[in-house]
Amino acid sequence: MLGWLRVITFAAVAALSTGAVAQEQYQEGVHYDLIEPAIHTGISDRVVVTEFFSYGCGHCYNFEPLLESFESRLPEGVVVQRTPVIWKDSPGMKLLARTYYTVEALDVFDPVHGAVFNTIHRQRKRLSSPEAVRAVFVE
């Protein structure tokens, strides 16, 4: 009796999971739309994937490893461009946006970008002053 139950359970699971295995092809106009005219990104010779983020956003922090993995597998001619966001003229968000642009201007993305996220989300420290941000750069 137990053997038949296993066979029936296996058959039911196999029959119900076939749709999950089939991979759907994305089609323009159905799954996505092209933006016309294209948005000017300042990079004309490559495809640009833009991430809008905030260092203070927990979801952005959790998404960062996935984005890094995605970025490491990009084909030639495709780049990721990050853009920090600011809501409602928030001084804290302005400071974090300035922090990102400072990271870019100083060309210290690899050591500092992750450190800023970790300081806020792992160490649970508030970066609410230029001095607090400076401490992350110095570490």
pTM: predicted TM-score of the whole model, two decimal places: 0.70
Residue 54, SS3 per DSSP: coil
Q: Can you give the pLDDT at residue 139?
A: 82
CA distance 96 to 102: 10
How confident is the prediction for the chain on average, in pLDDT?
Answer: 87
Q: What angle do CA 122, 99, 108 make, to 5 degrees?
A: 85
Average pLDDT on 129-137 reads: 94
Confidence band, pLDDT 50/70/90 cuts, at residue 127: very high
Confidence band, pLDDT 50/70/90 cuts, at residue 16: low
Average pLDDT on 109-122 reads: 95
CA distance 108 to 10: 53
pLDDT digits (tens, 9 = 90+) for 74-97: 999 999 999 999 988 899 999 999
**CATH superfamily placement of domain 33-138:** Glutaredoxin (3.40.30.10)
Tokens encoding 138:
């110095």
Domain ranges of the chain: 33-138
In this structure, the number of other CB atoms found within 10 A of the CB of residue 99 comes to: 22
